[in-house]
Every structure is written in C-alpha cells, then in structure tokens.
Amino acid sequence: MLPIITISRQYGSGGHEVGERLAQKLNIPLLDKELIAMAAKQSGLSEAVFERADEKAGNSLLYSMVMGNYTFGSRITGVNEMPINDKLFLLQSDIIKKAAEEGPCVIVGRCGDYILRKHENVFHVFIHANKEARIRRIVRKGLCEESKAADFVAKRDKQRANYYNFYSNKRWDDLSNYNLVLDSAQFEIDDLVEIIIDAVNRIKK
C-alpha cells in the first residue's frame, strides 16, 4: 500500500508543483490550500478569516514569541477562545489525521510530517534549492519583481520556519525530520516526482 507522502519545501523550490504532479501521477488526493476551505467549513467560520491568518501566521507567531505573550497549548481553552492561528492549526491537524486514516494522499506543508509523526505509513520529503534557483523560479512565474525577489524568498522561508518551529517545537530545517531530501535545482519537476515514487517503492518492508 502506498504511504501518505508529506512534502516540506523552501519557498520557490517547486515543492507545491511536485506535490500536485505526484498526487496526479499516483491518483491520490492532494491536501494543501484545500485545508483552509475544509477547516472553515468544519468550524463554521469564514474562509477569508482563515486565509488572512494563514498568510500572516509566520510574522504574528514570531512577534508573539519575542514578546513572550503567546504560547501554544499553555492554557486550556475552548476552540472558540483560541487565537485564530491556533484554531486553524488544530482544525487542519484533525483533517490531516483523518485523511491519513482514509488512505494514501500527498500533504504539502502544514507541519504534515510532525502531525503524522506517530502514523506508521508515512514518507516525509523535504525539497530545497539554492537561493538563485528559487529566485529565478518565482520571477519566471510572476510571483515577485526581480529587484525584490531575494528579500521575498528570505521572508517566506522565515515565515515557514517560524510556523513549523512554533507548532512542532522542532526545527524546520532539521533534515533528520525527513526520509528524503531533494535539491530541485538539479532536476526537472517530473524527475523529482519519479525519484520520490522510486524511493517510496524501495522502502524496506
């Protein structure tokens, strides 16, 4: 049986595209931005509220940690009393766990590797690339002006690291968290997909 595959990635490394093509190739569900819509539906809150919280999560978490007034799980509260970031994380965690119980899927970001750390049939991938390659990718895709791309990439990586480090109490860039680490600057997207599939098929039983 195929495992659940989690993909963590540096910004601009092409990790989301790898996840999309991998899910298509294996004909299994993909969970990424869809989790926000699912969390909104489950909570009864506006999807727009969760989208704003998701976009600002890294910055707000860093500010709160520096100020010392925000600790996830530090007190027992009802879901409705939690900060929106916590609420989104818990709802997404619940959705990810349920999806993993239902069968193979690809999960991009969202601390998927940490959330499923106790799940037996999971394969964790981390995709990275040098900063120059990532800048070329986001500029080519029209995601940022070339003059601002270097700072933009650094900011997005910092946000992802803050989010992961905060909720997992582990380091996002600790490669021991992952089963397979790939440099996307060295391969085409389809080659990365094939490498992951080959690695999954070679897992020790």
Task: Spell out the domains of the chain, with CATH numbers in brackets.
Answer: 4-196 (3.40.50.300)
pTM, two decimal places: 0.82
Q: Specify the residue for token string 């609420």.
A: 87
Candidates 72, 104, 67, 107; CA nearest to 87 is 72
What local confidence, expressed as pLDDT, does residue 143 receive? 85
Summarised one tens digit per residue, pLDDT across range 6-20 is 999 999 999 999 999
Q: Is the pLDDT of residue 97 over 80?
A: yes
Is 59:159 a contact under the CB 8 Å cutoff? yes
Summarised one tens digit per residue, pLDDT across range 98-135 is 889 989 999 999 899 999 999 989 999 999 999 999 99
- CA-CA distance, 13 to 131, in Å (whole number)? 9
